[in-house]
A and B are shown apart, each in its own frame.
Chain A
Amino acid sequence: MSTDQIGGPPLAGPRTVGPPEGFSLRSTNKRYGERVIIAGLFTCGALSVLITIGIAWALIAPAIAFFQEVSVSEFLTGTKWAPRFKPPAYGVLPLVLGTLWTTGIALLVAVPFGLGAAVYLAEYAPERRRRTLKPVLELLAGIPSVVYGFFALEFMTKVVLQDWLSLPVGTFNVLSAGIVLGVMIIPTVASLSEDALTAVPLAIRQGSFALGANKMQTTVRVVFPAAISGIAAAVVLGISRGLGETMIVATAAGQRPNMVSSPFEGGQTMTGFIANAALGDSRVGSLEYNTLFAVGLLLFLFTLVVNIISIRMVRRFREAY
């Protein structure tokens, strides 16, 4: 922390005001009215845990019913997904593959452009320009996903991929959905990476300049590596957003579960299946209804693992300085 003190008063160092060490200004009286209020606030906080338990319970109970009729190994290793056919097939791999394709393509778009934007905003942009550019960039995250879906289907597929690039794509393809999904998560990657870069202490940059490195060398070889775990966390959070996004892929990637083998093919993702199946009416408790929750549970586990990795990484980079 001492590095922060260069050029200014201590920021987060030892406190200069406030009660002496070891004293508390908190009330010594028991105030019962206040305790009621605090208990109420505690309940609000505890509600979040209830929501998580609720999600787990809402997913697990119907999923158990599902796995009583369909074996886990058939679900996880089957390569044909056709729950409404006769005979039905419950191999989830086509949905997982569809999700991996769209998310993978999205990352190819979001990571380079997101990081480029972050490095510019954090290291190069003057303060005033940064203040105007950043909210504009964040507008990309504020555009509703249904509008992105429309854009992917009507512009990205029909105009860019088919007319301009003459690619052999159908109306529905994972390429268009993935690219637009990537654009949607650029601000997620950029914003968190910028925070990580800004958190690198100035003294490290000054040290690099003092040794004769120029701006670019300092940025690429010193600041970027120093912020790498925060940047990794940003990318991982981007992955999580990509896995869970529904409306873009439901609109533009198609509704046919398919072992996608090229980006020009259409396919269905886990989220796309849930959204699409929800449109048909399935009775509560039927196998078809339970199928939704089995896929939902798998999606939840995917994002949970990814989120925990991301939270861990953020912690590590916060501890570094």
Chain B
Amino acid sequence: MPAPTEKYSPDVRLAGRQASNSDKNRRSLIFLGILWFSLLVAFGFLVVLLVTTFLDGIGRYDSRLFTNYNNTTPEDAGARAGILGSIMVIAVTALMAIPIGIGAALYLEEFSRKDRWYNRLFELNIQNLSAVPAILYGLLTLGLMGALGFKERNIVFGGALALALLILPVIIITTREALRAVPQEIRDGSLALGATQWQTAWRQTLPAALPGISTGTILALSRAMGEAAPLLLLGVAVYITYDPNGLTSGFTTMPIQIFNWTSAPQEEFKTLAAATSILLLSILLAMNGIAIYIRNRFAKRW
């Protein structure tokens, strides 16, 4: 259910919004000033962070960043392995997390009986999983890779597994919200015309919820793309000098490279970290923008 206030904003909210004379006394204005200041601080930090990162890194944002591998001499170092690694790992993460996440959400929202204890357990558990620190998913993956018999842990499959586990709860939660926003009448209509439950879910509910699901999924993937903590535990090597070329290939990602270069003592490496941050931020901002566009453009208001 979307918040009722969204739909009926004119009469529901106006009452509280119109400023009367009693809202213009000094205390009210100071209070409003404090609220404005809070927002200003948050936006100020955002702007300063983006600007300083840009100014720090723009001098090194050149072709070497894209074509060169990491190197001990800062002038020759680049993030090629990290860029390709990030793209590859996120693609595999998406393939693992999206089908399972949507499947779980469909089950919980469309098919599960709420009175069964195990369904309540699933829900509580998913809520809890979404707040488990990212780094613990790294420890889990470390254990899993050992149990599955992989000797090399720093491989594309391992990284994607860690990130898929990390974003699975996020995808399930946002998909459920999107499914819940589809009105019951659409399901009833489909069922009344003789469609089965699965046909209803697959041909009516899921397509109707698709904009919301896409938005949530893109945001989850962008979170995975910026995450470094769980990958550190796989012992990700920072001196990868080849392109990742398969599920069992060694890899590094942009966030790992940024972390490594930030910790390096030479100033030139810090500049390189900022340059890679510019690229990473541009990609993530683009993904966020697409997600917001989909939400505003395609989301139906029932």
Contact flag A246-B16 (CB < 8 Å), given A18-B185, A124-B35, A150-B258? no
With a CB–CB cut-off of 8 A, which chain B residues contact A190?
Answer: 42
Main SS class of interface, B: helix
Render A109-123 as a binary contact track against B, CB cut-off 8 A, 1 for contact: 000111111011101
Interface check A38, CB cutoff 8 A = yes
> A279 CA to B256 CA in the complex, in Å?
11
Contact flag A26-B280 (CB < 8 Å), given A44-B107, A117-B38, A142-B288? no
Contact flag A48-B172 (CB < 8 Å), given A142-B223, A151-B53, A251-B262? yes
Q: Assign chain B's interface to a size class.
A: 35 or more
Contact B1 A17 (CB under 8 A): no
With a CB–CB cut-off of 8 A, which chain A residues contact B144?
Answer: 54, 58
Contact flag A51-B39 (CB < 8 Å), given A59-B139, A147-B281, A183-B45? no
Contact A198 B5 (CB under 8 A): yes
Quick one: which of A43-84 are within 8 Å of B by CB? 43-49, 51-52, 54-55, 57-59, 61-62
B61-69, B73-81, B123-131, B240-248 - the one binding chain A? B123-131
Contact A135 B104 (CB under 8 A): no
Render A190-206 as a binary contact track against B, CB cut-off 8 A, 1 for contact: 10000100110010011
Interface check B152, CB cutoff 8 A = no
Render B130-153 as a binary contact track against A, CB cut-off 8 A, 1 for contact: 011111111110111010000000
With a CB–CB cut-off of 8 A, which chain B residues contact A176?
Answer: none
With a CB–CB cut-off of 8 A, which chain A residues contact B198?
Answer: 31, 33-34, 37-38
Contact A215 B23 (CB under 8 A): yes
Interface check A108, CB cutoff 8 A = no
Interface check A175, CB cutoff 8 A = no
Taking the nearest CB of chain A, how far is it from the CB of B259, in angstroms? 5
Contact of A7 among B12, B36, B191, B255 (CB under 8 A): B12
> A61 CA to B142 CA in the complex, in Å?
13
Contact B46 A139 (CB under 8 A): yes
Taking the nearest CB of chain B, how far is it from the CB of A4, in angstroms? 5
With a CB–CB cut-off of 8 A, which chain B residues contact A59?
Answer: 136, 139-140
Main SS class of interface, A: helix
Interface check B196, CB cutoff 8 A = yes
Render B40-52 as a binary contact track against A, CB cut-off 8 A, 1 for contact: 0111011011001
A89-97, A161-169, A259-267, A296-304 - the one binding chain B? A296-304
Contact A307 B131 (CB under 8 A): yes
With a CB–CB cut-off of 8 A, which chain B residues contact A202?
Answer: 5, 12-13, 15-16
Taking the nearest CB of chain A, how far is it from the CB of B193, in angstroms? 10
With a CB–CB cut-off of 8 A, which chain A residues contact B268?
Answer: none
- CB-nearest residue of chain A relative to B188? A18
> A308 CA to B119 CA in the complex, in Å?
17
With a CB–CB cut-off of 8 A, which chain A residues contact B46?
Answer: 136, 139-140, 143
Quick one: which of A202-251 are within 8 Å of B by CB? 202, 205-206, 209, 214-216, 218-220, 237, 240-241, 243-247, 250-251
Interface check A275, CB cutoff 8 A = yes
Contact flag A47-B100 (CB < 8 Å), given A18-B184, A198-B5? yes
Interface check B168, CB cutoff 8 A = yes
Quick one: which of B149-170 are within 8 Å of A by CB? 165, 168-169
Render B196-233 as a binary contact track against A, CB cut-off 8 A, 1 for contact: 11100000000000000000000100110111110011
Render A121-152 as a binary contact track against B, CB cut-off 8 A, 1 for contact: 10110110000010111011011111111110
- CB-nearest residue of chain A relative to B30? A216
Taking the nearest CB of chain A, how far is it from the CB of B142, in angstroms? 7
With a CB–CB cut-off of 8 A, which chain A residues contact B281?
Answer: 143-144, 147
Contact flag A58-B142 (CB < 8 Å), given A48-B126, A49-B125, A145-B228? yes
Contact A240 B131 (CB under 8 A): yes
- CB-nearest residue of chain A relative to B263? A251
Interface check B32, CB cutoff 8 A = yes
Contact B5 A246 (CB under 8 A): no
Interface check B266, CB cutoff 8 A = no
Contact A275 B229 (CB under 8 A): yes
Interface check A2, CB cutoff 8 A = no
With a CB–CB cut-off of 8 A, which chain B residues contact A57?
Answer: 143
Render B7-34 as a binary contact track against A, CB cut-off 8 A, 1 for contact: 1110111011101101101011001101
Contact B34 A147 (CB under 8 A): no
Contact B146 A284 (CB under 8 A): yes
Interface check A107, CB cutoff 8 A = no
Taking the nearest CB of chain A, how far is it from the CB of B189, in angstroms? 9
With a CB–CB cut-off of 8 A, which chain B residues contact A320?
Answer: none
Contact B122 A247 (CB under 8 A): no
Contact B134 A58 (CB under 8 A): no
> A43 CA to B106 CA in the complex, in Å?
11
With a CB–CB cut-off of 8 A, which chain B residues contact A117?
Answer: 35, 38-39, 42
> A37 CA to B143 CA in the complex, in Å?
31
Identify 7 new A-B residue pairs, CB closer than 8 A, beyond the known A11-B1, A12-B1, A123-B16: A25-B192, A42-B107, A47-B100, A54-B144, A113-B38, A150-B277, A206-B15
Q: List 19 A-B contacts (CB under 8 A).
A: A4-B4, A34-B198, A41-B104, A44-B99, A48-B125, A49-B121, A51-B165, A51-B168, A55-B137, A55-B140, A116-B37, A117-B42, A144-B284, A146-B226, A151-B53, A195-B3, A244-B131, A244-B134, A246-B229
7 tightest Cβ-Cβ pairs between the two chains A and B: A244-B133, A116-B38, A144-B226, A58-B143, A44-B103, A41-B107, A214-B22
